[in-house]
Every structure is written in structure tokens, then in C-alpha cells.
């Protein structure tokens, strides 16, 4: 099942995909174009921790002239960075290079502590799509992005859907792509991750507790380009959905 969280007629609703539209929890059916989309954090709890991977695709590391990492390169994101499908992301004035990052997001479904790799998928609630924008002007070190690179309000659209894990039997074989104003600019596959989903769950849970609703953003392949105000960016992952976002200038 595909779950969504929306704003409709002044109230927040949990919803499910229904023949191209949305079925609200109260039984009403509404058109997808008639709602404001929120990050699909329900029906799971809100995330206590948002973990994001850097350089988790070898081709992206090569694109940035870096050696592929020997262990996960991870940073923490705040919830205020998240925004929903068909929302805007602001590009700060004077910035020279701001790019998208199409990423598979793992949503944790139950408390995970010292999980073995073979059991990792038992702890996954589902999957969604993220577009984790980065502002290279503020970058001091690719291995440890500072707060202004990855923790700006609205810099991480996610959605539209939270797709049940049972509907994604193999998250490590999903095509992903990005288009900017209809032009294909990024194409890849989750099979090319350096550190796959079971590894990441085992790795993180070996030294910290993952809680229901926590998010793991798993990185992006090569093909990132600069995005300007007015650009419509669509980050899409096979079987999960197409996330639409529009860049707007600070002014």
C-alpha cells in the first residue's frame, strides 16, 4: 500500500493511494491535485533521527573526484529540512551551485538494536523518495558537510508516498532518475550502492538505537547539476513514486 499525509480543507489527513486519487481515513475520496502534500511520516511515528549517507555510490564519489569510502559517511539532519511533494525549496541569494540528490529513504518500523544483517529487513516499515539538495558554496569537506549544506529549511522534499516494505521485495534493485524541467539529468540503480540497506541497518544499530519512524537517506548516484529558481525537479524511484519539487529564489 502507498500511504500519504496531506492537508485538505484546513485539516491534516492520513491517506492512501486510490485509483489515481487519495482515499482519506474517513472514507472520502479526493483528487491528488486538490490537496497540499506533507512529508509521508504517518502512519509511523515522527522520526527521532534522520541519518543521511554521503558518497554511497561509487560513480558519485568519482564524479566529485573522491575515493569511494571504506565505511559509511554519515551526517544527521533535522526534521525542519523536510518538506512534501509539489512544494518549493528555496535557493539562497548569491549561491553559485545548488544541486538535487535523488535518494531511496528507508523508514524504520520497529526498535532496532544490534540487528544482524540477515534480519535487517524485518525492521523496515517502508520506503519513500527524498531529494536531498546540497549547496556546494557552503561545503567545507565532502566527508562532513556542515549544517548550511544539508540542514536548511525545505532543502529535503520527501514523498509523495510511504510504500509498505512488503510491496518492495528487493529495494536493492530499483531504477532511479531525476529530470529538470523535463530533461533527464540523472539515471542510476540502487544496486550500485556501496553500502546496501541491510548493511546500513546492521551498522547503525550496532552502536545506536533506531526507533520507529527514523529515516535513513541512502545517497545518490552521479549526474547532479545546478538548479535555478523556476526549475521543476522530479526525483523518481521505480515502484515508489515520482517526487516533484520547484526551486524558488529567496527574494
Number of structural domains (the chain) is 2
Q: What is the Rg, in whole angstroms, of the alpha carbon atoms belonging to the chain?
A: 17
Q: Residue 203 is part of a domain; what is its CATH number?
A: 3.90.850.10
* CA 200/CA 103 separation, integer angstroms: 14
The pTM of the full predicted model, rounded to 2 decimals, is: 0.94
Give per-residue pLDDT as tens, 119-175: 999 999 999 999 999 988 887 665 566 777 888 899 999 999 999 999 999 999 999
129 and 158 in a common domain: yes
* CA 135/CA 97 separation, integer angstroms: 6
Structural domain harbouring 202: 42-249
25 and 46 in a common domain: no
Does residue 38 register a pLDDT over 70? yes
C-alpha separations of 110 from 18, 33, 45 in Å: 27, 33, 10
60 and 34 in a common domain: no
Average pLDDT, the chain: 92
* CA 216/CA 159 separation, integer angstroms: 14
181 and 86 in a common domain: yes
Give per-residue pLDDT as tens, 42-59: 777 789 999 999 889 876
Comparison of pLDDT for 205 and 64, the residue scoring more: 205
Q: Where are the alpha helices (DSSP H) in 26-84?
A: 58-63
47 and 13 in a common domain: no
147 and 197 in a common domain: yes
175 and 74 in a common domain: yes
127 and 96 in a common domain: yes
* CA 160/CA 129 separation, integer angstroms: 7
198 and 212 in a common domain: yes
Does residue 64 register a pLDDT over 70? no
Return the pLDDT at 29.
96
Buried b (16+ CB within 10 A) or exposed e, 115-140: beeeebbebbbbbbbbbbbbbbebbe
- φ, ψ dihedrals at 193, nearest 5°: -60, 145
* CA 100/CA 128 separation, integer angstroms: 16
Q: Residue 7 is part of a domain; what is its CATH number?
A: 2.30.30.370
230 and 133 in a common domain: yes
132 and 46 in a common domain: yes
142 and 79 in a common domain: yes
Amino acid at each position: 500500500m502507498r500511504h500519504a499525509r496531506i492537508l485538505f480543507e484546513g485539516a491534516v489527513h492520513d491517506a492512501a493511494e486510490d485509483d489515481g486519487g487519495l482515499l482519506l481515513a474517513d472514507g472520502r475520496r479526493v483528487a491528488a491535485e486538490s490537496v497540499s502534500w506533507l512529508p509521508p511520516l504517518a502512519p509511523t511515528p515522527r522520526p527521532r533521527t534522520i541519518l543521511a549517507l554521503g558518497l554511497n555510490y561509487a560513480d558519485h564519489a568519482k564524479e566529485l573526484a573522491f575515493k569511494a569510502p571504506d565505511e559509511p559517511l554519515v551526517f544527521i539532519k533535522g526534521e525542519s529540512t523536510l518538506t512534501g511533494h509539489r512544494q518549493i525549496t528555496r535557493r539562497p541569494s548569491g549561491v553559485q551551485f545548488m544541486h538535487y540528490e535523488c535518494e531511496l529513504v528507508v523508514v524504520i518500523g520497529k526498535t532496532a538494536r544490534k540487528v544482524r544483517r540477515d534480519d535487517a529487513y524485518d525492521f523496515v516499515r517502508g520506503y519513500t523518495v527524498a531529494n536531498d539538495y546540497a549547496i556546494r558554496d557552503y561545503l567545507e569537506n565532502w566527508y562532513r558537510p556542515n549544517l548550511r549544506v544539508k540542514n536548511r529549511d525545505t532543502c529535503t522534499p520527501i514523498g509523495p508516498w510511504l510504500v509498505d516494505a512488503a510491496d518492495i521485495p528487493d529495494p536493492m534493485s530499483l531504477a532511479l532518475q531525476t529530470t529538470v524541467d523535463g530533461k533527464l539529468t540523472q539515471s542510476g540503480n540502487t544496486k550500485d550502492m556501496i553500502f546496501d540497506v541491510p548493511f546500513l541497518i546492521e551498522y547503525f544499530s550496532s552502536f545506536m538505537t533506531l526507533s520507529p519512524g527514523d529515516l535513513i537517506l541512502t545517497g545518490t548516484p552521479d549526474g547532479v547539476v545546478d538548479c535555478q529558481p523556476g526549475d521543476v525537479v522530479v526525483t523518481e524511484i521505480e515502484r515508489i513514486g515520482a517526487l516533484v519539487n520547484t526551486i524558488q529564489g529567496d527574494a
